[in-house]
């Protein structure tokens, strides 16, 4: 089972600081490589800061396993009431591809 954790400014600031800081805020370990395209973290944090109500619809952290670990992140794109809305559960890479943490690839 995957638990979705809504991204807020506190979590995004921790994610930008380090995996250890994020683990402390989440209360769960963080799988190495959970965010392969870290430039998106700052953009997402800035968007949440600009529109705090947007966090209700947007980015989520994915926590899974026993014991629970942060395994990735993604979110909803597009307006929530349009046919163009989608859920992006992949981690973008700088070369335009997508990836998931190496420890979790076989589980995806």
Q: Is 29 helix (H, G, I), strand (E, B) or coil?
A: strand
63-66's contacts with Cβ under 8 Å and 24+ in sequence apart are: 63/2, 63/3, 63/4, 63/5, 63/26, 63/28, 64/1, 64/2, 64/3
The per-residue pLDDT for 81 is: 55
Contact yes or no for 41/13 (Cβ under 8 A): no
Residues of the chain with pLDDT below 50 are 83-99, 104-108
User: At CA 13, angle to CA 81 and CA 55, rounded to 5?
Assistant: 15
The per-residue pLDDT for 58 is: 82
CA 29 to chain centre: 14
């Amino acid at each position: 089972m995957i638990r979705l954790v809504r991204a807020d400014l506190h979590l995004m600031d921790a994610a930008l600081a380090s995996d250890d800081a994020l683990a402390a805020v989440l209360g769960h370990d963080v799988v190495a490589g959970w965010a392969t395209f870290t430039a998106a973290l700052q953009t997402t944090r800035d968007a949440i800061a600009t529109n705090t109500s947007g966090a209700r619809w947007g980015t989520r952290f994915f926590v899974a396993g026993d014991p629970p670990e942060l395994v990735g992140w993604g979110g909803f794109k597009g307006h929530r009431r349009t046919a163009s809305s989608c859920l992006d559960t992949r981690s973008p890479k700088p070369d335009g591809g997508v990836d998931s943490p190496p420890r979790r690839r076989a589980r995806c």
